Chain A
Amino acid sequence: MAEIRVENLLKQFGSFTAVRDTSFTVQDGDFFCLLGPSGCGKTTTLRMVAGLELPSSGSIRLDGEDVTFKRARERDIAMVFQLFALYPHMNVRRNIAFPLVSVGTPKPEIRRRVEEAARMLRIEHLLDKPVSGLSGGDRQRVALGRALVRQPKAFMMDEPLGALDAEFRHIMCGELRAMHDRLKATTVYVTHDQLEAMSMANVIAVMNGGVVEQLGSPQDIYDRPASIFVAEFIGSPAMNLLRFEGAVEPNASELGLGGVPVAIPASREGRASGPLALGVRPEHVALVSEGGIRGKVVGTEYLGTTQIVTVGTAYGAVKARVSSAQTLSPDELVGLQLRSAKLSLFAGDTGKVIRSTLHEAPHAASRHRKTMNSPHAPGAAHV
């Protein structure tokens, strides 16, 4: 198992820059997620780490060894592809054995290891079946078996659950995470699905436009988004952004939003007057009858224990996640009360967060390692 260190990676296809100045370190045993919308460069980054694309510049180190320009087969990395890429002309056993055959593993050894992998994935009964008749989940398991059979330094996974239906994806999420915990294998996982990333990764890199927007634990990314992009990309519904014009003094702990004072975590940076955006998660918005930022209820979505209430305000529509017990009628005038300790303030022009005491919370910079097979990150629990 290995540490992967990516430094200043750049990849250009002709005049198009797919990945720009990307650096990150995947520590030994990490479940590292590259998360972003399609076309953000996450797959290209993964392919460069795997050796399927060569970077235009930058370096990739695997356990300290520079593998930037090494061929894929010399890197000892396994990969699971989105469409599984199971060889259709081979049965399950030969598919799983394929990486072992390439290095000339003796036959009895191949047999033993293939069966071991199959046992771990509970597909022993499928070993002599052709891959063409397998269900999506079984194909997924065979692809995993092929990846883990040779005990590589690291696993690359390119949206491996993307081709599965929603229900099964959920099950495989749990299985993948459980397998990772058992093998302690360094894993780089590409997905556009924030739920997958949140529930499995211990470190997430959110990518956008070829750049890593934020690198951190799921909690970090959810609670302390580094940019407007991350704030809007993560969470369902996304973080509310109340856009207004104003200035921030260093150490300011209060904002005036149209005359309504809103307490915020004390800022560590100042900003001259300009566009600002106040970010607040729906679950940190309370609806009150008096005071607060006034708005009119536009609609409600009932979700069982909670409901999402959309309130039209002078700063745009704001979604609040409140208890289903609270009864609200359309067009009702309400006040929004924001939970001060959880507010993020962004510069409207650059999209960057304005640092505040929020970013100095004791666990802000630490990298949480999940030890339990928890199906959900705390932040994503209601989604």
Chain B
Amino acid sequence: MSANAHSVVEPSAGAKLAASVLVILYACVALIPLLWIGLTSIKSPPDSIAYPPKVVPFVHFTPTAEGFCNLFTTRSRQTPDYIAGLPPSTGGCDEVARSRNMVVVGASNYVPRFVNSLIIAFGSTALSIVLGTAAAYAFSRFRVPLKDDLMFFILSTRMMPPIAVAIPVFLMYRELGLSDTRLGMILLYTSVNVSLAVWLLKGFIDEIPREYEEAAMIDGYTRLQAFWKVVLPQATTGIVATAIFCLIFAWNEYAFAVLLTSGAAQTAPPFIPIIIGEGGQDWPAVAAGTALFLLPILVFTVLLRKHLLRGITFGAVRK
């Protein structure tokens, strides 16, 4: 029942220390790009491309919200005379823009793109989990004809890179009117993720003894009720782990998003590089967009990390 029952030999203090040092070193290396994104997002455009690089805030450069302002607004360049003739600035981003001889003319598309990303990623994750759990349960518990072949077929859908079918998908989506729609993207990401979900979840559900459902069915419940009340609560770990994997894929996906979305359903990944093109290479704005883009996955993963850890080590540690 406890992890102790399965642990091998408690590692020595020295080994633990060495492991900690290694992990910390690796984390430092791995975190440098993230740190750089964070730093760049609070630099001014000239500071962001200065050489030698400016590293320490308040010492080498003065932090500014300009990157975030540029991310969230669209601006137009004006003559200093025109700007001087305007009513006093309302402060904030307006002030920042005027200092660069620009005026804010409206909100950028970042927020709607970000919302698209949220809807599409969470929508496709939810759908993948629902379909994947149902299929995994059926494969795990029932005598499905050609079960092994079907499972292999589901796996085989992942054997080539999804982008290899980009052209057929593009043509198909155009015919079906799914191009540049959120529904289309949800279906697409679901079709990619559902195979992963079925395989992962089948593993988790296989680990739950059938006796639990049988006990529930003898105790007066239908199979569906037994599934809801007994199987699902025990599959939470697996479901959460699978959901995080699905979410990360759908959240980060770039190629299909570029190909199939351009406006209404465009997600954040294809939008962020577009910022580069608008009025020079605005690295702080790109960094700001990227930093914000990283947050939802970070929050989701941190909130569910307990489940994720147990999920990743499943099979190794038995309950």
Contacts and interface: CB of A to CB of B under 8 A. Distances in A.
Nearest to B212: A85
Contact of B219 (A71, A82, A83, A102): A102
Contacts of B219: 73, 78, 98-99, 102, 146, 150
Contacts of B217: 51-52, 71-73
Contact of A81 (B215, B220, B221): B215
A102 B220 contact: yes
B319 A88 contact: yes
B95 interface: no
B209 A85 contact: yes
B281 interface: no
B282 to A, nearest CB: 51
A78 B216 CA distance: 10
Given A85-B212, A88-B234, A132-B1, A50 B218 contact: yes
Contacts of A88: 234, 319
Contacts of B94: none
B214 interface: yes
A102 B215 CA distance: 12
A156 B215 CA distance: 11
A52 B214 contact: yes
Contacts of B215: 79, 81, 85, 87, 146
Contacts of B1: 132-133
Contacts, number: 58
Interface string B210-234: 0110111111111001000010011
Task: With a 10 A CB-CB cut-off, give which of A51, A89, A133 has the most chain B CB atoms.
Answer: A89
A234 to B, nearest CB: 29
B218 A78 contact: yes
Contact of A72 (B211, B212, B218, B234): B218
Interface residues of A, number: 25
A338 interface: no
Interface in A132-156: 132-133, 146, 150, 156
A18 to B, nearest CB: 15
A103 interface: yes
A77 interface: yes
A98 B216 contact: yes
B222 to A, nearest CB: 7
Nearest to B222: A73
Contacts of B234: 88-89
A342 to B, nearest CB: 42
Contacts of A71: 217
Interface string A57-81: 0000000000000011100011101
A73 B233 contact: no
A83 B209 contact: yes
Given A89-B233, A89-B234, A102-B225, A51 B218 contact: yes
Interface in B184-218: 209, 211-212, 214-218
Contacts of A50: 218
B233 A83 contact: no
A99 B220 contact: yes
A85 B209 CA distance: 8
B209 A72 contact: no
A103 B234 CA distance: 23
B225 A85 contact: no
B265 to A, nearest CB: 39
B220 A103 contact: yes
Nearest to A51: B218
B3 to A, nearest CB: 13
Interface string A34-63: 000000000000000011100000000000
Given A87-B230, A89-B234, A132-B1, A81 B222 contact: no
A328 B218 CA distance: 57
A159 to B, nearest CB: 12
B212 A73 contact: no
B230 A73 contact: no
A71 B234 CA distance: 24
Nearest to B233: A89
Interface in A76-113: 77-79, 81-83, 85, 87-89, 98-99, 102-103
Task: With a 10 A CB-CB cut-off, give which of B215, B217, B230 has the most chain A CB atoms.
Answer: B215
Nearest to B215: A85
Given A81-B211, A85-B211, A85-B212, A52 B230 contact: no
Task: With a 10 A CB-CB cut-off, give which of B218, B220, B221, B230 has the most chain A CB atoms.
Answer: B218
A258 B319 CA distance: 62
Contacts of B319: 88
B267 to A, nearest CB: 36
Task: With a 10 A CB-CB cut-off, give which of A52, A72, A103 has the most chain B CB atoms.
Answer: A72
Contacts of B233: 87, 89
Contacts of B216: 87, 98
A162 to B, nearest CB: 13
A102 B221 CA distance: 6
Contacts of A87: 212, 215-216, 230, 233
A216 to B, nearest CB: 29
A99 B230 CA distance: 13
A82 B214 CA distance: 12
Contact of A77 (B212, B218, B221): B218
A51 B218 CA distance: 8
A107 B217 CA distance: 21
Task: With a 10 A CB-CB cut-off, give which of A73, A83, A89 has the most chain B CB atoms.
Answer: A73
Interface of A: 50-52, 71-73, 77-79, 81-83, 85, 87-89, 98-99, 102-103, 132-133, 146, 150, 156
Given A73-B222, A88-B319, A150-B219, 10 more contacts: A51-B217, A52-B214, A52-B217, A79-B218, A81-B211, A81-B214, A85-B214, A88-B234, A146-B219, A156-B218
Interface of B: 1, 209, 211-212, 214-222, 225, 230, 233-234, 319
10 nearest A-B residue pairs (beta carbon): A102-B220, A85-B211, A99-B219, A85-B215, A89-B233, A81-B211, A73-B220, A72-B217, A79-B218, A72-B218
7 contacts: A50-B218, A52-B217, A82-B211, A88-B234, A88-B319, A102-B221, A133-B1
